[in-house]
């Protein structure tokens, strides 16, 4: 038997598998039958079926995050396709590869009132790396099918990576023989199935030397010697700020650590940077330290930003006010600059650039600036450890389990990522994922499912509102082959708004109605209704939380822990933690090096 639509879809799928695709996420539908059958029939593809298109698309996003390779997400025509938009936008903003294959009606059924038919052309606007609509497959076009698949794959792994949308029209019959006599297009004998090729590129020396010679008090000429191909800017106060996706491999991490040590510049590492290790020059508690006026008074002259923006508003605003010369580096050229402060935004290889900077500069022996930050980090770490409680303690406990058992960590873009930023421990050996491309809280649990499918054991930390946003993610989770523990911090509403000006400026009733939005939902019952093992723990019961986490660590599989908290108590806990850090720094006096640095003209 032969079917033109299935032959076409099977060719696309086979070529994608040859290029490295290993997962397809499918939502049921009739018009997408050729794509679904092709995916299920290919022995090289793991197929995951989900009833809800939005959840399915975020699962595909998580797979792309975990593996660096696109998953195929398949939907039928009509409004089903619109449910993918949130995940597509996040993939676009975050540089995550994704192959979006939407089925459609053929042209003769467009604009005539045919059921389940909408205009799907350019459905996601400019939020895709490539949109293609090849039209219904034809016998004459059979020789171009693999080229179409290869082009889509190349675009999704391009520079930068991101989603590609293939809008694929199919005529009936969607299954069964159609008399075409066409089979799948065979691969050519010289097919190149290697996929994308990594490229290494560093900026010209002149660009790096110009940056090293700029900064406060440097004057128009700076202190670099371009003709000598070496900077003499020793002793300049600099920072290396590693934001989202700053490093993706051990070699890049090692190069940044070596650069930090070579220049005597602290490495301020966001939780999502991949650089937040326990090495002595790494700063994990910049946010609480910079809330202390005496510590924040001494500012950098040079800032090297790697990757995306850090999550910390305090850090970003402090850098913006510092007047420091800034340059940004990103392998895909995606350096955000909302304040328009970057002197240069470099599309460059992180490791190669770091090693070029080491080559171009003498080693800095004066450790005063670095020692000040290291002392502050030590004091903050001790103060946090002595006072940790409430929701920040939940985040720390879940993070410790991930580190202990080698799991990935997925954190929601609300309070969890901030608690990890402010009070979290070093993250040696832990890969952290968060949908910070567009900073939404939709699809977080689904993203975690995708990370677990693509990368193995995973711990997710989400709030109750994010859980309700993604409640369909629990469907079928107990039957999926994942090791995933979802820790839900339930404070009955939008806890993050309690830290924003709205909480101060609005009356209590208005704030509760518009922002706190208490829902009264029984999250544990919701999870349990889907057959997922769930435990309830009080936020002030760390022993109970530890026992629940250890049970999952031993047993594996899909599980949830609902930690019941209070929004009012959470605000108080955060205030006490920030105050404890400030008190520790003030009591320390000169150990943070403030006097010496002030004398140097901070």
Cβ atoms within 10 Å of 589's Cβ, excluding its own: 9
pLDDT tens across 155-176, in order?
A: 999 988 999 999 999 999 999 8
Give the pTM. 0.91
Domain 205-375 is of which CATH architecture?
Answer: 3-Layer(aba) Sandwich (3.40)
Q: Could you tell me the maximum CA-CA distance found in the chain, to the nearest angstrom?
A: 87
The 10s digit of each residue's pLDDT in 6-63 is 999 999 999 999 999 999 999 999 999 999 999 999 999 999 999 999 999 999 999 9
CB 21 within 8 A of CB 45: yes
Torsion of CA 523, 525, 528, 529, to 10 degrees: -110
Domain ranges in the chain with CATH number 3.40.50.1220: 205-375
- How far is residue 589 CA from its own chain's centroid? 38
**Residue range 426-479, pLDDT digits in tens:** 999 999 999 998 888 999 999 999 999 999 999 999 999 999 999 999 999 999
Q: Report the 3 state secondary structure along 177-227.
A: CCCCCCCCCCCCCCCCCCCCCCCCCCCCHHHHHHHHCCCCCCCCCCCEECC
Whether the Cβ atoms of residue 208 and residue 30 lie closer than 8 Å to each other: no
Split at pLDDT 50, 70, 90, the class of 223 is: very low
The rounded mean pLDDT for the chain is: 89
Q: Is 98 helix (H, G, I), strand (E, B) or coil?
A: strand
Q: Beta strand 224-225 with 230-231: parallel, antiparallel or unpaired?
A: antiparallel
Query: 199: which 2 tokens?
Result: 């490229």
**pLDDT tens-digit map of 510-549:** 999 999 899 999 999 999 999 999 999 999 999 999 999 9
**Tokens describing residue 60:** 């595909």
C-beta separation of 395 from 423 below 8 A: yes
Confidence of residue 596 (pLDDT cuts 50, 70, 90): very low
Q: Which of 83, 62, 60 is nearest to 72 (CA)?
A: 60
SS (H, E, C) 277-338: CCCCCEECCHHHHHCCHHHHCCCCCEEEEECCCCCCHHHHHHHHHHCCEEEEEECCCCCCCC
- Single out the residue of 234, 243, 232, 237 nearest to residue 215, CA to CA: 237
Where does the pLDDT of residue 227 fall: very low under 50, low under 70, confident under 90, or very high at 90 and above?
A: very low
Q: Classify 344 as helix, strand or coil.
A: strand
Residues 137-141: contacts with CB within 8 Å, 24+ apart?
137/4, 137/5, 137/7, 137/8, 137/170, 138/4, 139/4, 139/180, 139/182
* Cross-strand pairs, 353: none
Range(s) of the chain covered by CATH 3.40.50.970: 4-169, 388-564
Q: At 269, give phi and psi (nearest 5°).
A: -115, 120
pLDDT in tens, 20-35: 999 999 999 999 999 9
d(CA 325, CA 209): 12
Q: Is the dihedral of CA 92, 94, 95, 100 positive or negative?
A: negative
> pLDDT value at position 234?
52
- For 231-236, what is the mean pLDDT? 57
How far is it, in rounded angstroms, from Cα 213 to Cα 211?
5
H helices present in 3-44, as ranges: 4-19, 33-41
Nearest alpha-carbon partner for 276 in 317, 244, 318:
244
CA distances from 400 to 390, 420, 426 (A): 16, 11, 9
- The single-letter DSSP state of residue 102 is E
Residue 333, pLDDT score: 77
- Residue with the bigger pLDDT between 211 and 150: it is 150
pLDDT at 201: 61
| Exposed e or buried b per residue across 239-271, where buried means at least 16 C-beta atoms within 10 angstroms of its C-beta | bbbbbbbbbeeeebbbbbbbbbbbbbbbbbbbb
- Looking at residue 439, its pLDDT comes to 86
Percent of the chain clearing pLDDT 70 (strictly above):
91
The pLDDT score that the predictor gives to residue 1 is: 54
Q: Which pLDDT belongs to residue 226? A: 27
Handedness of CA 27, 31, 35, 37 (dihedral sign): positive
Alpha-carbon span 559 to 487, nearest angstrom: 9
Which class does domain 4-169 fall in? alpha beta
User: Which two tokens mark 223?
Assistant: 């202190």
- Dump pLDDT digits (tens) for 279-338: 999 999 999 999 999 999 999 999 999 998 898 999 999 999 999 999 999 888 777 888
How, if at all, do strands 458-463 and 432-433 pair?
A: unpaired
Strand 23-26 to strand 72-75: parallel, antiparallel, or no bridges (unpaired)? parallel
Tokens coding 147: 């080229």
Least confident of 84-88, 143-147, 184-188, 217-221: 217-221
pLDDT at 602: 35
- Domain at 388-564: CATH code: 3.40.50.970
End-to-end CA distance of the chain: give it in Å, rounded: 79
**Strand arrangement of the beta sheet that strand 558-564 belongs to:** 432-433, 408-411, 458-463, 484-490, 558-564, 534-538
Res 222: pLDDT? 34
Q: How far apart are CA 60 and CA 170, in angstroms?
A: 23
């Amino acid at each position: 038997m032969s079917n033109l639509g299935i032959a076409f879809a099977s060719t696309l799928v086979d070529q994608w598998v040859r290029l490295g695709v290993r997962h397809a996420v499918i939502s049921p539908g009739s018009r997408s039958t050729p794509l679904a059958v092709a995916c299920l029939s290919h022995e090289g593809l793991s197929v995951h079926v989900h009833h809800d298109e939005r959840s399915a698309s975020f699962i595909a996003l998580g797979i792309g995050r975990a593996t660096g390779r696109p998953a195929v997400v398949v939907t039928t025509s009509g409004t089903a396709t619109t449910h993918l938009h949130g995940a597509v936008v996040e993939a676009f903003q975050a540089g995550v590869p994704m192959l979006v294959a939407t089925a459609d009606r053929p042209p003769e059924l467009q604009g005539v009132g045919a059921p389940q038919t909408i205009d799907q052309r350019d459905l996601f606007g400019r939020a895709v790396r490539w949109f293609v609509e090849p039209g219904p497959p034809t016998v004459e076009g059979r020789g171009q099918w693999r080229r179409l698949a290869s082009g889509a794959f190349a675009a999704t792994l391009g520079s930068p990576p991101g989603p590609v949308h293939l809008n694929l029209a199919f005529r009936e019959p969607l299954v069964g023989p159609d008399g075409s006599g066409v089979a799948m297009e065979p691969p050519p004998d010289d097919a190149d199935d290697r996929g994308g090729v990594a490229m290494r590129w560093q900026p010209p020396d002149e660009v790096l030397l110009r940056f090293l010679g700029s900064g406060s008090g440097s004057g128009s000429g700076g202190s670099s010697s371009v003709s000598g191909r070496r900077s003499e800017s020793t002793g300049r106060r600099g920072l290396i700020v590693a934001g989202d996706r700053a490093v993706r491999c051990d070699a890049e991490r090692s190069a940044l650590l070596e650069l930090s040590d070579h220049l005597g510049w602290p490495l301020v590492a966001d939780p999502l940077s991949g650089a937040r290790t326990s090495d002595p020059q790494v700063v994990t508690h910049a946010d609480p330290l910079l809330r202390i006026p005496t510590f924040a008074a001494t500012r950098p002259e040079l800032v090297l930003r790697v990757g995306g923006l850090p999550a910390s508003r305090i850090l970003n605003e402090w850098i913006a006010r510092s007047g420091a010369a800034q340059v940004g580096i990103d392998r895909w050229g995606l350096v955000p600059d909302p304040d328009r402060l970057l002197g240069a935004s470099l599309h460059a290889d992180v490791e190669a650039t770091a090693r070029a900077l080491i080559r171009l500069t003498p080693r800095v022996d004066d450790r005063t600036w670095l020692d000040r930050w290291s002392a502050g980090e030590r004091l903050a770490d001790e103060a946090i450890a002595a006072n940790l409680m409430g929701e920040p303690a939940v985040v720390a406990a879940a993070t410790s389990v991930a580190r202990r058992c080698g799991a990935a960590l997925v954190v929601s873009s609300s309070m969890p990522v901030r608690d990890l930023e402010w009070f979290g421990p070093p993250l040696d050996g832990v890969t952290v994922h968060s949908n910070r491309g567009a900073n939404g809280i939709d699809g977080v649990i689904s993203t975690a499912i995708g990370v677990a499918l693509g990368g193995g054991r995973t711990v997710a930390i989400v709030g109750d509102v994010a859980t309700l946003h993604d409640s369909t993610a629990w469907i079928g989770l107990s039957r999926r082959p994942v090791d995933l523990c979802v820790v839900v911090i339930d404070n009955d509403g939008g806890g993050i708004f309690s830290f924003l000006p709205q909480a101060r400026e609005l009356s209590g009733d208005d704030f509760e109605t518009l922002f706190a939005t208490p829902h009264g939902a029984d999250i544990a019952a919701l999870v349990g209704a889907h057959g997922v093992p769930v435990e309830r723990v009080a936020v002030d019961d760390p022993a109970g939380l530890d026992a629940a986490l250890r049970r999952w660590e031993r047993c594996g599989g899909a599980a949830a822990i609902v930690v019941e908290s209070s929004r009012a108590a959470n605000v108080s806990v955060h205030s006490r933690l920030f105050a404890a850090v400030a008190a520790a720094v003030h009591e320390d006096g000169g150990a943070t090096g403030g006097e010496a640095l002030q004398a140097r003209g901070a």
